[in-house]
Chains A and B, each alone.
Chain A
């Protein structure tokens, strides 16, 4: 069977790895990405595990890398992607890496501290320069003599109390302050000094750089005049509290100028030094930049390996791991292990040892990118129970098809197809861009679905003959319009064309719907009849198909009897009731034309349940062909319909009671047989004919068959999960790398005896519960058949809605534009209106209608189709793989 039909065959194995080889082996397995390890230490705290120190060292390295990365990104440098895939370094190299990071980290930190100090210095000097300049102009405005200034100030600004009397010892402070702190500064000064100081604040136009964070800062320069020592202290304290800086500014303009010159030269020097130190920093970062990505991948890999190794159990000089993997990957795994051993130079080979367990294996399909999208649709309902039939392969066709039935418009389909095609063709480029937009990733992930949906929509659109709500006249019409002239058409509102007279081809149109229906007033009635019947046909066929798929489940799980008590009655029930309806539809299509007396199927179908039949009367003279849609329309109709109905009814008790009764009987039988069986615990025939997959067959267990079909043997490691304390001698069950039939045989023998001993645990199965369960299933199925068939009518409803909506859009928007404005204005109007129409078409018809059709299709698959055979109670196979590391763009994402 193809790998998509059901899950890959999975196998639980125990890996015995030599301690020194474990790291390399796990690393190789991680590159392979086909092994899922079980956590054998789930009861142990994270910090009490064996390799917690290594994990911690990795975290420390991560931290340093994050710091370096942050610095690189801060400089606006890019982190280059690596093309090759650096392998996880050997544990020995971890020390080198650590040393390297340590060196890099400390170097960078040192450079940064130096830089910060320099920048701080630079900041102070630039501030001083600004302050000096500001003070110079401020004082120049009010005179260079401070004492003189005071007099001006007192008359100029709000009078300072008592100033005039003690002009002698007036002091001032000049400094800078962050702009946002100025209001507080002024307010606090006013409260503290009761308004006895004069504050002048001026904004400095240039911005400064914060030496530590690199952010821009806006600063203000302030000049505070005060009197007396006490006030000086207060001003100083307030300034201190608000982190302002006071600069010494000399009293006379000459001194100030001198200072300004001095500051300028020092600034120039400092700028040089800063530039050099910046160069150095860039060099350091540049070195790191090249290696960054490779480092990140290496560290992440080491961390992942140790995380995995923390899940292993220690056993003497080796580590024991339990893992699931697909059976067909066994050779790859062996190869990976051998490579790992060779790398680590370990002499003792690792051992893979098969284990049988009652735990359900994970479900795994090896999908390609095309199938992936469809598999995701199925998985989001529920991951298939291991071994169950996977609906995904059928979904590939049915999903786009049912979608297209609802979305049937060739024009819209074409746009959707082109969009899907674009995504698929540009696939690699788009994927490389790693766009994180959620909406985009959704569309991108479903690109193949969109492509197929578009393609199928074109097909159904051609069948409905709908292109942007218009029809294409490709094959001409089959209606005879020869007798009708144009004046006649213009004169009359409508002309009735009778099919018996004017329809040329009396069987069927060549392809799709005759375009003449586009202009018919009864177009909707005609299309409704067509689409409604089609919906029923499609629905019933899909459900029947679903029921047929359940056979494969019964066969696979060896519930042979279920075919008789479940599949057959289900098939009969649906087939007799709704399959018959479908047959009637075809019968009516094929056997009746405009001349004959067509039956009303709906009435007939209802009458079938009410056993009401209206016989055809003998033709009379007044009415040679008596016609009523209620008349019986084929001979033996009553017999056949009654028979079908009875058959369907009879299926219900079989469905209801068949399985539980069978199980109860079976259980009684087997308990009687068990005693006899015990005396021959190793029956080679029986244990050899069973494959390992049957060990997981719970149903088989329930039915007391486990003594035959479950050659389950358990190793002591697996005990906890199963709750069975039986131990098996390890040496006898070891299957070494070069396993041969002997050991397998041995194992099977063990299995047989083993299974005996724990068969008792499942013996007292709750029969009542099973009856109830089956009753629920029966009711669900029978009612479901009716409601699900009705549910498929959404195919018709949505396609009707879509057609109507696009017709409204055409006639209310575009046609309005086309008829407006006459000869000269019409062009521009149409130009504008077209955009409105095109946008509405894309927005409403493609996106909204598309989404709604998508959702309805999803529902039809999940509920109506899958409920017939799909349980979806499994869980995903999540192999240990390094792939996610390559997806990761920055270390920040890892945290």
Chain B
């Protein structure tokens, strides 16, 4: 049977709801208004006229960027949790997969925090609410990756991802980075396979999105590894093997020693070539990171072109994250009266 026929029985409500949410994403005209703001209160006033409504109404002035950040995040979390609570299989698993990435971030955040001697009750509120789980509380026990596995991750969905990097070594910054990237790598590959298994339009959209994510990680790991003690073999192990770069591109990346070589690798892939060519660190140029974000936004917008598939859920959360980054960027610029770079947000629609 064609899955499109029965899609709406289980997921029609949520897709409809989501497409409604999507039309609340700020438009270019809203951004043009936002960047004219003089103070954060102006920002609040303008956001009131958008889909955000009165989400800041109960905050006393003067506002701070961190309050806005919390509220933005809260709004997204409420929406996602609502969808998760109404989701049926396999959409519920799909949404869980999206949450895993937040779980990984939280684990890493807490480990780094405890490494720096911050008390756990101070760190816990900083975690992203989409990625909290009960066992996180025990994370301050983890001083080796074995302990991390035993105490925290063993009965969470993240457990299979950490298998590859269990060691008795004490955790240090380097280790934490490696753990993060290994977790992400396994996570992406797992998610990729899950989406592929779903087949149909979901697979089409999601595999493209996840492949891009994987490639982006590979590029960024490579670029960030220059000048650190990470060996090439270790680096190779961190590349997620589900992107367009796999296998040849990854192999070439593994050999790279400097930025130009990375760029040379990207030249083989037209979609990435463009990103590398137009980026730079000179003033006025967009950073590579921003270029990646822009490309991501483009991909995510494309996801909405197809119906009866889960990609829209992933895309919406991604776009919303980008929008939150944009608002915060503008908010920071306004708050610090540093207007020169205020328009380097990434417009979505």
List A residues at the B interface (Cβ < 8 Å).
45-48, 52, 56, 59-60, 62-63, 66-67, 181, 184, 187-188, 191-192, 234, 237-238, 240-243, 895
Q: Which of B58, B121, B151 contacts A63 (CB 8 A)?
A: B58
Q: For residue B39, which residue of chain A has the nearest CB?
A: A47
- Structural contact, B138 and A192, CB atoms closer than 8 A: yes
Q: Which of A67, A184, A895 contacts B137 (CB 8 A)?
A: A184
Q: For residue A70, which residue of chain B has the nearest CB?
A: B58
Task: Report A-chain residues with C-beta under 8 Å of the C-beta of B59.
Answer: 63
Residue B139, interface by CB 8 Å: yes
Task: Report A-chain residues with C-beta under 8 Å of the C-beta of B136.
Answer: 241
12 further A-B contacts with Cβ under 8 Å, apart from A45-B33, A47-B37, A240-B120, are A45-B46, A47-B46, A56-B45, A59-B57, A66-B58, A67-B58, A192-B147, A238-B137, A240-B121, A240-B137, A241-B138, A895-B57
Residue B150, interface by CB 8 Å: yes
Residue B36, interface by CB 8 Å: yes
Residue B248, interface by CB 8 Å: no
Residue B155, interface by CB 8 Å: yes
Q: Which of A47, A60, A63, A237 contacts B138 (CB 8 A)?
A: A237
A selection of 15 A-B contacts at a CB cut-off of 8 Å is: A45-B33, A46-B48, A60-B61, A181-B134, A184-B135, A192-B147, A237-B138, A238-B137, A238-B141, A240-B121, A241-B120, A241-B138, A241-B139, A243-B121, A895-B53
Within 8 A of A (CB), among B235-278: none
Q: Shortest distance in angstroms between B194's beta carbon and chain A's nearest beta carbon?
A: 27
Docked pose: A67 CA to B48 CA in angstroms:
19
Q: Which of A47, A66, A181, A234 contacts B45 (CB 8 A)?
A: A47
Residue B227, interface by CB 8 Å: no
Task: Report B-chain residues with C-beta under 8 Å of the C-beta of A192.
Answer: 138, 141, 147, 150-151
Docked pose: A45 CA to B29 CA in angstroms:
11
Docked pose: A46 CA to B38 CA in angstroms:
12
Q: For residue A181, which residue of chain B has the nearest CB?
A: B134
Chain B positions 10 through 35: 1 when the CB is less than 8 Å from some CB of chain A, otherwise 0: 00000000000000000000000100
- Structural contact, A63 and B60, CB atoms closer than 8 A: yes
**Residue picked from A52, A63, A191, A192, most chain B C-beta under 10 Å:** A191
Task: Report B-chain residues with C-beta under 8 Å of the C-beta of A238.
Answer: 137-138, 141
Known: A63-B60, A192-B150, A240-B121. A187 touches B155 (CB 8 A): yes
Q: For residue A45, which residue of chain B has the nearest CB?
A: B33
Docked pose: A66 CA to B46 CA in angstroms:
21
Chain B, interface residues (CB within 8 Å), range? 20 to 34
Q: For residue A63, which residue of chain B has the nearest CB?
A: B58
In the A-B complex, list the 4 residue pairs whose CB atoms are closest, starting with the nearest.
A241-B137, A47-B42, A184-B134, A895-B54
Task: Report A-chain residues with C-beta under 8 Å of the C-beta of B121.
Answer: 240, 243
Task: Report B-chain residues with C-beta under 8 Å of the C-beta of A191.
Answer: 150-151, 154
Residue B289, interface by CB 8 Å: no
Task: Report B-chain residues with C-beta under 8 Å of the C-beta of A62.
Answer: 57
Q: Shortest distance in angstroms between A72's beta carbon and chain B's nearest beta carbon?
A: 16
Task: Report A-chain residues with C-beta under 8 Å of the C-beta of B61.
Answer: 56, 60
- Structural contact, A63 and B57, CB atoms closer than 8 A: yes
Docked pose: A48 CA to B39 CA in angstroms:
11
Known: A63-B60, A240-B120, A895-B54. A52 touches B141 (CB 8 A): no
**Residue picked from A60, A181, A240, most chain B C-beta under 10 Å:** A240
Docked pose: A163 CA to B84 CA in angstroms:
47
Q: Shortest distance in angstroms between B290's beta carbon and chain A's nearest beta carbon?
A: 27
- Structural contact, B140 and A241, CB atoms closer than 8 A: yes
Residue B49, interface by CB 8 Å: yes
Known: A188-B151, A191-B150. A242 touches B137 (CB 8 A): yes
Residue B41, interface by CB 8 Å: yes
Docked pose: A237 CA to B42 CA in angstroms:
45
Q: Shortest distance in angstroms between B339's beta carbon and chain A's nearest beta carbon?
A: 16
Q: Shortest distance in angstroms between B120's beta carbon and chain A's nearest beta carbon?
A: 5
Q: Which of B45, B137, B154 contacts A46 (CB 8 A)?
A: B45
Q: Shortest distance in angstroms between A330's beta carbon and chain B's nearest beta carbon?
A: 34
Docked pose: A60 CA to B60 CA in angstroms:
7
Dominant SS among interface residues on chain B: helix
Task: Report B-chain residues with C-beta under 8 Å of the C-beta of A243.
Answer: 121, 137
Task: Report B-chain residues with C-beta under 8 Å of the C-beta of A240.
Answer: 120-121, 137, 140
Docked pose: A48 CA to B41 CA in angstroms:
12
Docked pose: A187 CA to B152 CA in angstroms:
10
Docked pose: A45 CA to B59 CA in angstroms:
22
Docked pose: A66 CA to B53 CA in angstroms:
16
- Structural contact, A56 and B41, CB atoms closer than 8 A: yes
Docked pose: A45 CA to B139 CA in angstroms:
48
Docked pose: A456 CA to B13 CA in angstroms:
44
- Structural contact, B138 and A188, CB atoms closer than 8 A: yes
Docked pose: A242 CA to B141 CA in angstroms:
12
Docked pose: A188 CA to B120 CA in angstroms:
16
Docked pose: A238 CA to B54 CA in angstroms:
39
Task: Report A-chain residues with C-beta under 8 Å of the C-beta of B120.
Answer: 237, 240-241
Docked pose: A67 CA to B57 CA in angstroms:
11
Q: Shortest distance in angstroms between B59's beta carbon and chain A's nearest beta carbon?
A: 8
Task: Report B-chain residues with C-beta under 8 Å of the C-beta of A895.
Answer: 53-54, 57
Docked pose: A181 CA to B48 CA in angstroms:
39
Docked pose: A234 CA to B154 CA in angstroms:
17
Within 8 A of A (CB), among B110-162: 120-121, 124, 134-141, 147, 150-151, 154-155
Task: Report A-chain residues with C-beta under 8 Å of the C-beta of B58.
Answer: 63, 66-67
Task: Report A-chain residues with C-beta under 8 Å of the C-beta of B41.
Answer: 47, 56
Docked pose: A391 CA to B46 CA in angstroms:
42
- Structural contact, A237 and B140, CB atoms closer than 8 A: yes
Q: Shortest distance in angstroms between B168's beta carbon and chain A's nearest beta carbon?
A: 15
Q: Which of B53, B134, B141, B154 contacts A237 (CB 8 A)?
A: B141
Docked pose: A242 CA to B49 CA in angstroms:
41
Docked pose: A48 CA to B42 CA in angstroms:
8
Task: Report A-chain residues with C-beta under 8 Å of the C-beta of B60.
Answer: 60, 63
Chain B positions 55 through 80: 1 when the CB is less than 8 Å from some CB of chain A, otherwise 0: 00111110000000000000000000
Docked pose: A59 CA to B139 CA in angstroms:
43
Task: Report B-chain residues with C-beta under 8 Å of the C-beta of A242.
Answer: 134, 137-138
Q: For residue B120, which residue of chain A has the nearest CB?
A: A241
Q: Shortest distance in angstroms between B39's beta carbon and chain A's nearest beta carbon?
A: 8
Q: For residue A194, which residue of chain B has the nearest CB?
A: B150
- Structural contact, B135 and A188, CB atoms closer than 8 A: yes
Q: For residue B43, which residue of chain A has the nearest CB?
A: A47
Q: For residue B153, which residue of chain A has the nearest CB?
A: A191
Docked pose: A59 CA to B135 CA in angstroms:
42
Task: Report A-chain residues with C-beta under 8 Å of the C-beta of B151.
Answer: 188, 191-192
Task: Report A-chain residues with C-beta under 8 Å of the C-beta of B140.
Answer: 237, 240-241
Task: Report B-chain residues with C-beta under 8 Å of the C-beta of A241.
Answer: 120, 124, 136-141
Within 8 A of A (CB), among B81-105: none
Q: Shortest distance in angstroms between A14's beta carbon and chain B's nearest beta carbon?
A: 27
Q: For residue A55, which residue of chain B has the nearest CB?
A: B45
Task: Report B-chain residues with C-beta under 8 Å of the C-beta of A52.
Answer: 45
Q: For residue B57, which residue of chain A has the nearest CB?
A: A895
Docked pose: A234 CA to B36 CA in angstroms:
53
Docked pose: A187 CA to B58 CA in angstroms:
40
Q: For residue B155, which residue of chain A has the nearest CB?
A: A187
Task: Report B-chain residues with C-beta under 8 Å of the C-beta of A46.
Answer: 45-46, 48-49
Docked pose: A243 CA to B53 CA in angstroms:
35
Q: For residue B42, which residue of chain A has the nearest CB?
A: A47
Task: Report A-chain residues with C-beta under 8 Å of the C-beta of B155.
Answer: 187
Within 8 A of A (CB), among B200-250: none
Docked pose: A768 CA to B57 CA in angstroms:
55
Task: Report A-chain residues with C-beta under 8 Å of the C-beta of B137.
Answer: 184, 188, 238, 240-243
Docked pose: A805 CA to B138 CA in angstroms:
71
Q: For residue A184, which residue of chain B has the nearest CB?
A: B134
Docked pose: A182 CA to B150 CA in angstroms:
18
Docked pose: A46 CA to B49 CA in angstroms:
8
Task: Report A-chain residues with C-beta under 8 Å of the C-beta of B37.
Answer: 47
Q: Shortest distance in angstroms between B215's beta carbon and chain A's nearest beta carbon?
A: 36
Task: Report B-chain residues with C-beta under 8 Å of the C-beta of A181.
Answer: 134
Q: Shortest distance in angstroms between A65's beta carbon and chain B's nearest beta carbon?
A: 11
- Structural contact, B135 and A234, CB atoms closer than 8 A: no
- Structural contact, B57 and A48, CB atoms closer than 8 A: no
